[in-house]
């Protein structure tokens, strides 16, 4: 099976692919049978340029930029890498909660800039505790459940809601911290609208390790500029572009979409991608097909 990958994926499993090319599709490629992507756009035009394509294997659990319906119409299977990145993503969500609530990066910058002038002071850098706080988890799937498990170690009260179902507005009103763990779909785009962001209590913290489009980004920036809430953001609407107004704010922690970025997790993701390619080569059932 001729494989075209948009990049070389990390981990030892990669070396099991025998006919793989790293590059982009700049012209029709009738030889390519499997396309490996990291949630890059796969649309009708791209599919038309790959007439022999049998498989799109996505390096990641989210596949919102892949036109699954168009793939299905052409008989092209789509796979992703669920399960193996739950722990790493949950860990980062907790790290962002702590960093934002305890103002860790503000303190780091102060020390590096030479602004720490007394050995200890009761005044500056008063943060908010995570221990005992109420955590609202929007999206109680594998990752949301892993976050809930970790939150219990901080004696947090956990309120879970499944995206648009249940008492989302009530959870937003009651939570000290809100963590987002829903896929980006037509139903979840803009789920946290300007009106819903306004429901967050003063001093609340919003953490997003899901997709930027789940939140009305402009409204979120307005809330952060006003200083009413804080945030930890790993994802943005138009990556790698980050809204300019966020860059100088002290009440937001920004990371470059690194929720799954651990050596162990990325290697496990590659393992699943390669297993799906090998299964397709052998004519066996795919390991993690997208429904």
pLDDT of the chain along its 291 residues, tens only? 999 999 999 999 999 999 999 999 999 999 999 999 999 999 999 999 999 999 999 999 999 999 999 999 999 999 999 999 999 999 999 999 999 999 999 999 999 999 888 887 766 779 999 999 999 999 999 999 999 999 999 999 999 998 666 699 999 999 999 999 999 999 999 999 999 999 999 999 999 999 999 999 999 999 999 999 999 999 999 999 999 999 999 999 999 999 999 999 999 999 999 999 999 999 999 999 998
Catalytic residue among 54, 157, 257, 281: 257
Count of structural domains, the chain: 2
**DSSP secondary structure code for residue 230 in this structure:** E
Integer Cα distance of 92 and 232 in angstroms: 10
Q: Is 239 a catalytic residue?
A: yes
For 244, how many CA atoms within 13 A lie in the half-sphere containing its CB?
0
> What are phi and psi for residue 34, nearest 5 degrees?
-135, 135
Q: Is 102 a catalytic residue?
A: no
**DSSP secondary structure code for residue 137 in this structure:** E
Q: Which helix (H) or strand (E) holds 22?
A: strand 20-22
Integer Cα distance of 174 and 191 in angstroms: 17
Which structural domain range is residue 164 located in? 86-254
How many Cβ atoms are within 10 Å of 198's Cβ, its own excluded? 12
Same domain, 76 and 102: no
Catalytic residue among 196, 211, 266, 271: 211
Same domain, 79 and 94: no
Same domain, 116 and 225: yes
Q: Is 257 a catalytic residue?
A: yes
Catalytic residue among 21, 155, 218, 239: 239
pTM: 0.94
Integer Cα distance of 55 and 60 in angstroms: 15
Same domain, 41 and 96: no
């Amino acid at each position: 099976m001729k494989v075209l990958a948009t990049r070389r994926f990390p981990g030892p499993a990669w070396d099991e692919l025998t006919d793989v090319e790293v590059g982009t599709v700049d012209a029709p490629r009738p030889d390519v049978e499997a396309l490996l992507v990291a949630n890059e756009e796969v649309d009708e035009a791209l599919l038309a340029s790959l007439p022999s394509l049998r498989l799109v294997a996505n390096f990641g659990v989210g596949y919102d930029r892949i036109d699954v319906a168009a793939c299905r119409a052409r008989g092209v299977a789509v796979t992703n890498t669920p399960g193996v990145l739950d722990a790493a993503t949950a860990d980062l969500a907790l790290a962002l909660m702590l960093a934002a609530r305890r103002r860790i990066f503000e303190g780091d910058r102060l020390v590096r800039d030479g602004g720490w002038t007394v050995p200890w002071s009761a005044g500056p850098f008063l943060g908010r505790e995570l221990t005992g706080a109420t955590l609202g988890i929007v999206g109680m799937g594998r990752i949301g459940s892993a976050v809930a498990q970790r939150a219990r170690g901080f004696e947090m009260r956990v309120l879970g809601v499944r995206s648009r179902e249940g008492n989302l507005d009530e959870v937003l009103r009651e939570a000290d911290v809100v963590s987002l763990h829903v896929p980006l779909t037509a139903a979840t785009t803009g789920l946290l609208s300007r009106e819903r962001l306004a429901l967050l209590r003063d001093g609340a913290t919003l953490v997003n390790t899901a997709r930027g489009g789940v939140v009305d980004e402009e409204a979120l920036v307005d809330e952060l500029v006003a200083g009413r809430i804080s945030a930890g953001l790993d994802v943005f609407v138009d990556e790698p572009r980050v809204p300019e107004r966020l860059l100088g704010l002290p009440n937001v922690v920004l990371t470059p979409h690194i929720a799954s970025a651990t050596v162990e997790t990325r290697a496990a993701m590659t393992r699943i991608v390669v297993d799906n390619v090998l299964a397709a080569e052998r004519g066996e059932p795919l390991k993690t097909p997208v429904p």
